[in-house]
């Protein structure tokens, strides 16, 4: 099997797996317990917090561990609305955000929060000018993802953040697809909040974090004990948090070499497919995107059919976000680029990761071209 859907999830790294195992068996203490076994768990959590803070240029006190990116996004958006609950507030986001942001915003609209969904250009990028003209006197938050999960396009977050910082407007970025894959520094990005998920950078599923800049307040997410600075009560997922810290540390250390290799693999894949199928096109930004992700459009061919045939050939790809797969609806991201419904349904996403090899590219290209020809011959 060739797994080429790393934007959906990744295999846990060998190092992260090795480091988490003791906390499932030998060192299984509750981090809140006041004896040595609990103290070891507590120290492990704080070490992971240090690893995360170092990786993104933050302070340890600014990192709160969560169950993943969706939880972090929901907490932040609902928390901001609750924080300003005594007034009618306005939030700005983009039309291509992950559903954890879009659905949270729609839920807030039902509670009288005003939301503006910014358009994107044909490459999937948000314009700073559109942000500027959308700001209102009651705008309290802007939330723009750092890199898109379906097309890989990287947003001008630093540029937007710099402007919003001058205006005194809070800024959040969903960096789930970016952290561990491209350089991320919260100070260079000028963000007040940042979400990430461990299983996107070879950590364990069920863990993530929210960066919250020092001095900013959010209501508690879960009530109970004082875990995670009182924001998220409940016994911590110590093993998962340990894996998160080591996975992120490893991903950042290998980022340059891994990124160069993944970009070469994607470029070879695109060239190989286009050589046989000249009509295939890249959906999104052909250059300014994540190194290991590309979204390809195939004229007159169902992306679902391509995906299913590739699965039979032992190649795993996707047609859209994993959170929205299995539904016979076109991708909201591709529609936002200006594609028709038919074009949006004729795309697949290929996303390579740490454990993919250059040798796999030739088979992936061959499998895609064979699947395409098979579908075309049956039409």
Q: Output the CA–CA distances (angstroms, integers) from residue 75 to 240, 266, 347, in the order listed.
A: 20, 35, 32
* Torsion angles phi and psi, residue 274, rounded to 5: -65, -25
By 3-state DSSP, what share of the chain in percent is helix, strand and coil, each rounded to 5?
45, 15, 40
Would you give the DSSP letter of residue 5? Answer: B
What residue has token string 């992700």? 293
Cα–chain-centroid distance for residue 235? 25
* Residue from 105, 316, 323, 369 carrying the catalytic annotation: 323
Largest CA distance in the chain: 69
247 and 203 Cβ atoms separated by less than 8 Å: yes
Q: Can you read off the two tokens belonging to residue 61? A: 């006190």
**Known catalytic residue: 369?**
no
CB-count burial class (<10 Å; 0-12, 13-18, 19+) for 62: buried
Distance CA 155, CA 352 (A): 20
Q: DSSP H helical segments within the chain, as ranges?
A: 14-20, 36-56, 69-83, 99-109, 128-134, 157-167, 186-189, 238-253, 255-276, 303-312, 332-336, 341-344, 358-378
What residues pair up with 173 in beta bridges, in sequence order? 194
DSSP state of 320: S
> Rounded to an integer, what distance in angstroms lies between the CA atom of residue 93 and that of residue 135?
11
Hunting for tokens 């803070």 — which residue is that?
Answer: 53
CA distance readout (Å), 210 to 64, 68, 76, 179 = 5, 9, 8, 12
CA dist list (Å): 23 to 17, 27, 273: 11, 5, 45
The burial of 258, by beta-carbon neighbours within 10 Å (0-12 exposed, 13-18 middle, 19 or more buried), is given as buried
**304 token code pair:** 């679902």
Q: Are 154 and 288 in contact (CB under 8 A)?
A: yes
Enzyme catalytic residues: 323
């Amino acid at each position: 099997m060739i797994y080429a859907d790393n934007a959906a999830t990744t295999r846990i790294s060998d190092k992260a797996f090795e480091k988490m195992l003791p906390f499932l068996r030998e060192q299984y203490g509750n981090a809140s317990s006041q004896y040595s076994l609990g103290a070891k768990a507590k120290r492990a959590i704080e070490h992971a917090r240090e690893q995360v803070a170092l990786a993104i240029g933050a302070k340890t006190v600014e990192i709160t561990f969560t169950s993943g990116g969706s939880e972090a996004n929901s907490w932040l958006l609902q928390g901001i609305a609750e924080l300003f609950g005594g007034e009618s507030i306005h939030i700005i986001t983009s039309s291509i955000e992950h559903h954890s942001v879009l659905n949270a915003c729609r839920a807030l609209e039902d509670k009288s929060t005003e939301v503006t969904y910014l358009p994107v250009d044909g490459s999937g990028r948000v314009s700073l000018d559109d942000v500027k003209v959308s700001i209102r006197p009651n705008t309290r938050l802007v939330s723009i993802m750092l890199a898109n999960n379906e097309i890989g396009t990287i947003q001008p977050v630093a540029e937007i953040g710099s402007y919003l910082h001058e205006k005194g407007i809070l800024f959040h970025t969903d960096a789930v697809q970016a952290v561990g894959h491209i350089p991320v520094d919260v100070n260079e990005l000028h963000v007040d909040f940042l979400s990430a998920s461990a299983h996107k950078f070879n950590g364990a599923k069920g863990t993530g974090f929210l960066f919250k800049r020092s001095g900013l307040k959010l209501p508690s997410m879960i009530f109970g004990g004082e875990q995670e600075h009182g924001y998220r009560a409940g016994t911590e997922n110590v093993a998962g948090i340990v894996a998160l810290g080591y996975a992120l540390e490893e991903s950042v250390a290998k980022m340059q070499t891994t990124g160069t290799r993944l970009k070469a693999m994607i470029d070879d894949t695109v060239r190989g497919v286009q050589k046989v199928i000249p009509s295939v096109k890249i959906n999104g930004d052909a250059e300014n995107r994540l190194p290991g992700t590309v979204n390809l459009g195939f004229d007159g061919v169902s992306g679902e059919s391509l995906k299913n045939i590739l699965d039979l050939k032992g190649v795993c790809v996707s047609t859209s976000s994993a959170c929205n797969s299995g539904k016979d609806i076109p991708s909201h991201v591709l529609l936002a680029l200006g594609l028709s419904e038919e074009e949006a349904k004729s795309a697949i996403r290929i996303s390579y990761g740490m454990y993919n090899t250059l040798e796999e590219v030739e088979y992936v290209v061959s499998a895609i071209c064979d699947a395409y020809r098979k579908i075309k011959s049956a039409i």
